[in-house]
Amino acid sequence: MKTTLSLTPAAQVETECLVAIVLDRGEKDKTEAFVSASDKALQEAAADLISSGDVAGKIFETSWLHKPTWLKAKRLLLVGGGKVKNFSAAELRKVAGAAVRALKTRNLRSLAFVAPEQIGAEDAVKAIIEGAMVGDFDPDTYKSDRKDQAVQSLTVVASGDQAKLQQALDEARIIGESQNFTRQLVNEPSNRMTPSILAKRAQEMSKEVGLKCEVHGAEKIKELKMGAFWGVAQGSDEPPALIVMRYEPAGAPEKPVLGLVGKGITFDTGGISIKPADGMEKMKYDMAGGATMIGVMRAIALLKPKVKVIGIVCATENMPSGKAQKPGDIQTAMSGKTIEIINTDAEGRLVLADGLCYARQLGCTHLIDAATLTGAVVVALGYANAGVFANDDNMYQKFAKAISEAGEKMWRLPLGDEYLEAMRSSIADLQNTGGRWGGACTAAAFLKEFAEDTPWIHLDIAGTAWMEDNKPWIAKGPSGIAVRSLIEFTREFGS
């Protein structure tokens, strides 16, 4: 999608479709809709629709006006943004996505979006671009009769300092493209996204944006004594890949070094503890944590914060075979801790355990991991929020600020010694599952043992990495959750 900035009054913009937001400033049950724009001609063009009561400003409500009087645009699309008091950059992102998706159904390829006045101009430009790009993504890659409905160009109509607005637009485009890059990776079926292919995509991306990228295979994994990682990988005929991406900008201090560790299970059958057949096809998305980190590293390389970052993805399949690990087996992790395998379907924490240890060995002073780790987090938080765990309050507070800036929804869950007790083994140091209750918390407690004293955040994105249904602003399928928050955190981390 080509993105441009226009400082021209909205009424003078020539476009297939001009999009403006309608908000409701009425109190309680009273509706008082208005167009959020200072352009008088635009307000006049929408006046009859609004006065008729057909446009109330309800969130995602869409109304079309063809050949609008007062405007040079061929069409005017009014999109509801809800109540003024609830309207923020997060809602603007979604409204921008909803506008793009409304255009796609009509085969319109371009639009101009009027930045609303209730949000600062730079923040508005950023939210519109990010939301529009998210809305433009569709997962129907392999349909033989697929019709390309992609929106080709977006102009944001705003007022303010042109240089600052252009910078906001350029940065937002990088972030939106990186989120969609993550979604493209997650969307691929497992026969077209093996560990080797994921590694190749990471290498190609790294070459394009100037990152250093190394990919290690089984021999290196064994050499590093990553017994937990190899325990998962040994059951598959597909070779595993340890992907290491490095961002080392000139002038960055030696410390801190941020480590981003992603779970890259390109397909999860559950192993010997095999999953039910119902819904197993979705387990191609079990590498979403790894894809997230690859997308974040892409954005970091282009946004250029002054901080060193190392991205690590532990990629493998979890398969049942004569070579696969079995319940009751003992694996020795890279850290030297021994792990009793109770359930081979609790594999994500095993690859992350060695990934976190390796990140520390490479000099990372702060760690964040992301993984579609537990069904328990979905029981706890549903499909609305990702789960966040942290062993360092100061680091968490900075990350919470980044979540707010990014407009993503996450919720901090408890991390205490009582959860670790459930992970104690009678035969080894740890076991890889703690039973039915508090499963997201016991899994996080397990991982904490491998982060040790290093400030660390764990993101359990199992319920949010895949949209179960089409929404007005986003298609069913991969969401790219956490990409924006991690980018915001990294930029602040390096400031």
In a shared domain, residues 259 and 384 = yes
Residue 75 lies in a domain: yes
In a shared domain, residues 79 and 184 = no
The model's pTM is 0.97
Residue 495, pLDDT score: 76
Question: Encoding tokens for residue 369?
Answer: 């991991």
In a shared domain, residues 390 and 299 = yes
What letter represents residue 267's amino acid? F
Q: Where are the alpha helices (DSSP H) in 407-477?
A: 417-421, 439-451
Residue 160 lies in a domain: no
The single residue of 58, 275, 401, 471 carrying the catalytic annotation is 275
In a shared domain, residues 100 and 189 = no
In a shared domain, residues 60 and 123 = yes
In a shared domain, residues 100 and 244 = no
Residue 430, pLDDT score: 98
- CA atoms of 249 and 101, how far apart (whole Å): 38
- CA atoms of 423 and 339, how far apart (whole Å): 10
How far apart, in Å, are the Cα atoms of 170 and each of 47, 94, 302, 400, 481? Answer: 34, 19, 10, 24, 21
**CATH number of residue 300's parent domain:** 3.40.630.10
Q: Where are the alpha helices (DSSP H) in 54-146?
A: 89-104, 121-136
**CATH number of residue 90's parent domain:** 3.40.220.10
In a shared domain, residues 123 and 226 = no
In this structure, are residues 292 and 241 in contact, taking their beta carbons and an 8 Å threshold? Answer: no
Residue 291 lies in a domain: yes
Nearest to 451, CA basis, from 313, 336, 355 = 355
Nearest to 184, CA basis, from 238, 134, 247, 126 = 134
- CA atoms of 430 and 449, how far apart (whole Å): 9
Tally of CA atoms within 13 A in the half-sphere of 202 that contains its CB: 33
Q: In the listed set 85, 115, 136, which residue is the last one of a domain according to the structure?
A: 136
Residue 121, pLDDT score: 97
End-to-end CA distance of the chain: 30
Residue 85 lies in a domain: yes
In a shared domain, residues 26 and 78 = yes
In a shared domain, residues 132 and 183 = no
- CA atoms of 244 and 142, how far apart (whole Å): 30
Nearest to 356, CA basis, from 456, 475, 443, 256 = 456
In a shared domain, residues 98 and 222 = no
Q: In the listed set 111, 136, 161, which residue is the last one of a domain according to the structure?
A: 136
* Residues sharing a CB contact under 8 Å with residue 120, sequence separation 6 or more, in sequence order: none
In this structure, are residues 136 and 155 in contact, taking their beta carbons and an 8 Å threshold? Answer: no
Query: Does the active-site annotation cover 74?
Result: no
**Three-point CA angle 185, 477, 284, nearest 5°:** 50
Residue 141 lies in a domain: no
In this structure, are residues 80 and 59 in contact, taking their beta carbons and an 8 Å threshold? Answer: yes
Total number of domains constituting the chain: 2
In a shared domain, residues 235 and 113 = no
Q: In the listed set 101, 136, 171, which residue is the last one of a domain according to the structure?
A: 136
- CA atoms of 460 and 333, how far apart (whole Å): 21
Q: What is the mean pLDDT of each run of 10 residues along the chain (495 residues)?
A: 97 97 91 93 93 92 94 97 96 98 94 97 98 97 90 97 98 98 98 98 98 98 98 98 98 96 98 97 98 98 98 98 98 98 98 98 98 98 98 98 97 96 98 95 98 98 97 98 98 87
Nearest to 132, CA basis, from 367, 488, 473, 385 = 473
Question: What are the start-end ranges of the E strands in 14-84?
Answer: 18-24, 33-35, 62-66, 75-83
Q: Which domain holds residue 119?
A: 2-136
Query: Does the active-site annotation cover 349?
Result: yes
Residue 184, pLDDT score: 98
Residue 169 lies in a domain: no
3-class state of residue 398 by DSSP: helix
Q: Could you say which DSSP state residue 302 is in?
A: H
What letter represents residue 12's amino acid? Q
Length of the chain: 495
In a shared domain, residues 68 and 196 = no
Nearest to 391, CA basis, from 363, 419, 371, 372 = 419
The single residue of 93, 284, 337, 349 carrying the catalytic annotation is 349
Residue 157 lies in a domain: no
In this structure, are residues 10 and 159 in contact, taking their beta carbons and an 8 Å threshold? Answer: no
Residue 99 lies in a domain: yes
